[in-house]
Copies of this chain bind each other. A is one copy, B any other.
Amino acid sequence: MTAPTHSIVWDTGHLGRTEAAVLHAARDIRVEDRPLPPLGVRDVLVEMKSGGICGSDMHYFADGQNGTNVLQKPTVLGHEAAGVIIASGEESALEPGTAVVIEPSLPCGTCATCLSGHSNVCPNGRCFGSPPTDGLFARHTVVPASSVHVLPDAIPAEIGAAVEPLAVAVWAVERAQVEPGHRVLVTGAGPIGLLVVQVLAARGVREIVVTDVNDARLAVAAGLGATDAVNTATQHLAAAGFDCLIECSGVTRALADGILALRPAARAVVVGQAKAAVDGIPLGFLQRYEIDLVTAFRYNNAFPTAIELAASGKVDLRSIITSTYPLSDVAAALEAPVSDPSNLKVLIRY
């Protein structure tokens, strides 16, 4: 365990303070001194080592909102985060010094949705970094011990934040009900798409075709296990009859075209962040062939598989990490993927 990089005074039951990236308004993010809540008996205090910039963070930063969720008060951003436990509540079994990644969803655990096994879509749920719930771009954070997953040495906390998007990819593949004998189409070779490709390859899926409009990203996909990579800006996707589609681009056109490449009774999974309302969905084709259009929201019990895939090298987290910024440059980090599309996953380092 490395020494804390920021001096805090911590005494269970008393407030410590830390530095955090607080979004005050669109394009107004400030690294500020903030109080930490007391450490509950089932909480852990995590010293952060990495934070990942997600599209939703970029939306909050650019627009003060993401989808229908609007910033209402200054809020700490960030939901992709890993670090090292430096204090552990008395009822937590986790030892200080343990590297962990945080699962940011906070379901209520008691509603009908949770009790039927769908806690990831709990209507009462909150999520770190979804305003008004403060997020994880902070040097230290207090989280419930139940919100962390232990990282093996093979996944240093310094890149551990990338486990969160990998969990997204794992869950998307699960929702797709993929079998090894399947032919799968992945639209979008951004961070999620590239992770989905690797998860599919790790599962032994025999054909993985990836589409994007960026040749560099497609080249990365090809190196990570895609059996074919098609630039839909310049090429026609000739293959058809896929058993499932995993839409990772967030581009409606990719979803629409991808659906048209499916076999009858196939399954299309939307994991790329969906716009509130989309146009041009080929509902007629979905209906003619009874193709199911389903979605993946975050993850449901997917972190363990994500950690294993990364630790064993079946998935290469570094394959998607293209740049890192110090916390003080969080604004630059939030803009990097916009200003340069060759950026895939941008990390905050503390």
Contacts and interface: CB of A to CB of B under 8 A. Distances in A.
Contacts of A313: 92-94, 145
A329 interface: no
Interface string A132-161: 000000000000011011111110000000
A179 B95 CA distance: 30
A131 to B, nearest CB: 15
Nearest to A286: B295
A231 interface: no
Contacts of A180: 109, 114-117, 119
Copies per assembly: 4
A-B pairs, top 4 by smallest CB distance, nearest first, are A93-B313, A115-B181, A304-B308, A150-B311
Given A153-B152, A154-B150, A287-B270, A277 B276 contact: no
Interface string A216-255: 0000000000000000000000000000000000001000
A294 interface: yes
A288 B307 CA distance: 24
A117 B179 CA distance: 5
Interface of A: 67-68, 92-95, 98-99, 109, 112-123, 145-146, 148-154, 175, 179-181, 204, 206, 252, 256, 263-265, 270, 273-297, 301, 303-309, 311-314, 316
Contacts of A281: 277-279, 281, 283
A53 B99 CA distance: 31
Contacts of A296: 287, 290
A293 B294 contact: yes
Contact of A288 (B117, B121, B175, B309): B121
B284 A274 contact: yes
Contacts of A306: 304
B290 A283 contact: no
A265 B292 CA distance: 14
A148 B279 CA distance: 40
Given A152-B153, A287-B297, 8 more contacts: A109-B180, A112-B263, A121-B265, A123-B289, A150-B152, A256-B277, A292-B292, A304-B307
Given A179-B117, A265-B118, A284-B276, A308 B297 contact: no
A280 B279 contact: yes
A119 B270 CA distance: 26
